[in-house]
Structure 1
Amino acid sequence: MPEVAAPVPGTTTIAVRGSSPYDVVVGEGLGDRVLPMLGADVRRVAVLFPDGLRALAEPVVAALEGAGLRVLELPLPEGEDAKTATVAVAAWDALGEAGFTRSDAVVTVGGGATTDMGGFIAATWLRGVPVVHVPTTLLGMVDAAVGGKTGMNTAAGKNLVGSFHEPAGVVCDLATLRTLPRDELVSGLGEVVKCGFIADPEILRLVESDPEGAADPASPVLAELVRRSVQVKVDVVVGDLRETAGFAGAGGHPGREALNYGHTMAHAIERAEGYTMRHGEAVAIGMVFVAELARRAGRLDDATVDRHAATLAAVGLPTGYDGADPATLQAAMKVDKKSRGDQLRFVVLDALATPRILAGPAEADLLAADAAMRGGAR
């Protein structure tokens, strides 16, 4: 196998150090980075990609085949439709028919749903084979591809079946962002802004000072936002890979659970909307909801609460929702992964970049936050 290529100008390598170290490479012109990450023993590689992104997967397939590897192409349904048990079984059957062993590997090319599902398939085939992620969306780069969480959806909710399976590497080629529809790119900014609120206020400053640059795939502002957001996730994940730190209680940093800021309501909305709403849009709404919940609970100051809607709106993200009724959303939130028994638990902010857990909020506060969320619908 070839040695690791020399750094490309403007390329950043973020080291993820832990029990299974790997690198996240961010830059442009990174087509040669996948092969070295797979390891010297791999002979067969399954490349998973949404059927509509075959053109983006073809260069990866060609590079692997050019290095003498046997490639199994496994196109997936688009978006959340890929994250079903039926798709998983079909992929496992294909890997079995092709004779994949533990020394073989998986490569994913696509957005967050592809990395979630491709990672899950890699994690469960023979109890785990290596996987390299090549995220092609902003959401995939700053969230789904990094950290080792994999999962699929069920009728009960989103990502309720899954495992932790760290990748062998992640290649974020920023050039692929230029292929995205603007709405899809803007949606990914929901996760970027989240990183600013929970850990890195410089992200918020960059977005607020140049919202157009933040949503421009060719802008150095967006490149810096990707690097900073990946670093936030890496820093949190290294300290709490399996999301256990948050069990300690509300007194300290909730560990990896902090990355779920806004997600409890977001997942409830996604389920209520039949997974037709973009994830980043739902997260934006969920952050507005939980900021208001923190204000009502006496945890967060007015200026920081109001900053949520202002920053999100500046880049074109939604700041309210008036769809499913409060009872429906609360029922969905009770099967969220962060819930304990019948008690709702939310990641909130006690101050900017100070995430904490709010367990069992008062019903009156939940309803007031829900009303504020509906008031922000547009």
Structure 2
Amino acid sequence: MTPTDSTRFASQTVHVPLSERSYDISIGTGNLAEVGRWITSLRSVTHAVLISDDHVARHYLEPVSESLKSEGIRVTKLVVPAGEPSKSVATSQELWEKALADRVDRKSSVVALGGGVIGDLAGFIAATMTRGLDFFQIPTTLLAQVDSSVGGKVGINLPAAKNIVGCFWQPRGVLIDTAVLETLPKREYLSGLAEVVKYGVILDPEFFEYLEANVQPILDRDATVLQKIVARSCELKAQVVAEDERETTGLRAILNYGHTYCHALETVSGYGEYLHGEAVAVGMLCASRLGEKLGVFAPEATERQHKLLTALGLPVDVPKLDEAAILSAMQRDKKVEHGKLRFIVPHCIGKVVLTPDVPQDVAMQAWTDGYAS
């Protein structure tokens, strides 16, 4: 659906308060055409390295490039293959060299146009090229809009571990146009909903109830509902990031609810077998069962998550993979300390707790109990 007068809404702004690194998230419907004017309102930009993937580029690379050029910005367009394998050392080197060949300098800016993979990769390029370039996010998937584009985590994968190479590099601004979700393939759209559900579980029981009550409008990509869930997700993440930008207090770790299992699933199954949100859905239910086994979470609350994720078309069953490999992958998780597994464990809908020294056998039982019967 192309935005019309009836579907075009006033933009909302969510502020991410990080002292001198503070920035705004501009959320609207049909506001992508304003990207050039938006960027120049934030910074004086003369050269933009516009990074996208070959799927997104077909729809939006030229319109965004033309909008930037209309503001007098020279544009270097760099396109990589879509998918998790592009978050690699080899792709990073290719982008560094191409940007350098087109005369990138310390006054250049990087613009990420795409989903979570592009945001992570382009942000990593911005953070490392000439020791740091200004960076703007234009997320085009639901998952990126509600999660990965906010908070400044950027990085790439190694074959044995996801997101293990990277840094914190905050964008100068994030522009979200919910209208671009109309061209998003169904599977990718549904994948993004897992991160939306996550925010309800970890921080906001009323938001979780709103999702339960609005499953069909969400599946229909209703413009009003979309803008609401994107804005609320961004607000919740901004609150956490503002209090623990670099994961020094442990608070920000709650955003990784389900992700220890999720990242292990992605690693062992091979990057790309599961979309990230699909793996998050499976991982959240594993963490939920772990909460039950530790005696801190009610089975009824696990069932609410299972019911909502199923209604939203997300996978809930654990695939039968090499269990030793799964455990090994979890032991390489970034939350591990001194060789001890730590998990984000739910205590009720709206509250989760970083829990140290979880026994390996209990953690794995929460995994194997998720096998399809």
The answer to whether the superposition gives a TM-score over 0.5 is yes
- 8 Å CA contact 1:48–1:108 kept in 2: the answer is yes
Aligned position for 1:316: 313
Asked whether 1:73 is paired with 2:77, we answer yes
Please give the alpha-carbon distance, in whole angstroms, between the structure 1 residues aligned to 2:108 and 2:223: 37
Amino acid at match of 2:25: V
Instruction: Tell me the SS of whatever aligns to 2:50.
Output: strand
- Which of residues 280, 295, 298 in structure 1 aligns to 2:292? 295
- Which of residues 182, 190, 193 in structure 2 aligns to 1:189? 193
Instruction: Tell me the SS of whatever aligns to 1:374.
Output: coil
Q: How many angstroms does 1:9 deviate by? A: 3.5
Aligned position for 2:18: 18
Q: How many angstroms does 1:40 deviate by? A: 4.3
Deviating more after overlay: 213-222 vs 87-96: 213-222
Q: How many angstroms does 1:193 deviate by? A: 0.2
1:1-378 to structure 2, matched below 5 A, reads 9-19=9-19, 20-30=21-31, 31-38=33-40, 39-54=42-57, 55-246=59-250, 255-275=251-271, 276-375=273-372
Q: How many angstroms does 1:62 deviate by? A: 0.1
Q: How many angstroms does 1:57 deviate by? A: 1.6
- 8 Å CA contact 1:190–1:281 kept in 2: the answer is yes
Deviating more after overlay: 362-371 vs 195-204: 362-371
- 8 Å CA contact 1:108–1:115 kept in 2: the answer is yes
- 8 Å CA contact 1:178–1:218 kept in 2: the answer is no
Q: How many angstroms does 1:137 deviate by? A: 0.4
TM-score by length of structure 2 reads 0.93
Deviating more after overlay: 169-178 vs 342-351: 342-351
TM-score by length of structure 1 reads 0.92
Q: CA RMSD in A?
A: 1.5
Instruction: Tell me the SS of whatever aligns to 2:320.
Output: coil
Q: How many angstroms does 1:220 deviate by? A: 1.9
Structure 2: unaligned runs, 5 residues or longer: 1-7
Please give the alpha-carbon distance, in whole angstroms, between the structure 2 residues aligned to 1:367 and 1:269: 12
Q: How many angstroms does 1:354 deviate by? A: 1.6
Instruction: Tell me the SS of whatever aligns to 2:105.
Output: coil
Instruction: Tell me the SS of whatever aligns to 1:350.
Output: strand
Structure 1: unaligned runs, 5 residues or longer: 1-7, 247-254
Q: How many angstroms does 1:206 deviate by? A: 2.0
Amino acid at match of 1:341: H
Say if 1:327 and 1:15 are closer, same or farther in 2 by CA, change over 3 A. Answer: same
Please give the alpha-carbon distance, in whole angstroms, between the structure 1 residues aligned to 2:87 and 2:104: 21
Please give the alpha-carbon distance, in whole angstroms, between the structure 1 residues aligned to 2:170 and 2:70: 26
Map Cα deviations across residues 273-304 of structure 1 (whole Å, 9 max, x no partner): 11121100100000000110011011112221
Q: How many angstroms does 1:323 deviate by? A: 2.6
- 8 Å CA contact 1:151–1:160 kept in 2: the answer is yes
Instruction: Tell me the SS of whatever aligns to 2:206.
Output: helix
Say if 1:193 and 1:64 are closer, same or farther in 2 by CA, change over 3 A. Answer: same
Map Cα deviations across residues 64-114 of structure 1 (whole Å, 9 max, x no partner): 111111100000111112101111111111121222122110111111000
Amino acid at match of 1:16: V
Please give the alpha-carbon distance, in whole angstroms, between the structure 1 residues aligned to 2:139 and 2:74: 22
Please give the alpha-carbon distance, in whole angstroms, between the structure 2 residues aligned to 1:320 and 1:147: 30
Please give the alpha-carbon distance, in whole angstroms, between the structure 2 residues aligned to 1:172 and 1:41: 21
Amino acid at match of 1:262: G
Q: How many angstroms does 1:34 deviate by? A: 4.7
Aligned position for 1:5: none
Please give the alpha-carbon distance, in whole angstroms, between the structure 2 residues aligned to 1:229 and 1:41: 30
Map Cα deviations across residues 115-169 of structure 1 (whole Å, 9 max, x no partner): 0100110011111111111101000101111100001010121100001000011
Please give the alpha-carbon distance, in whole angstroms, between the structure 1 residues aligned to 2:359 and 2:104: 52
Deviating more after overlay: 212-221 vs 223-232: 212-221
Runs (4+) of structure 1 exceeding 6 A deviation are: none
- 8 Å CA contact 1:320–1:375 kept in 2: the answer is yes
Please give the alpha-carbon distance, in whole angstroms, between the structure 2 residues aligned to 1:233 and 1:277: 24
Say if 1:342 and 1:177 are closer, same or farther in 2 by CA, change over 3 A. Answer: same
How many residues were matched structurally? Answer: 361
- 8 Å CA contact 2:36–2:71 kept in 1: the answer is no
Higher relative contact order (CA 8 A, sep 6+): 2
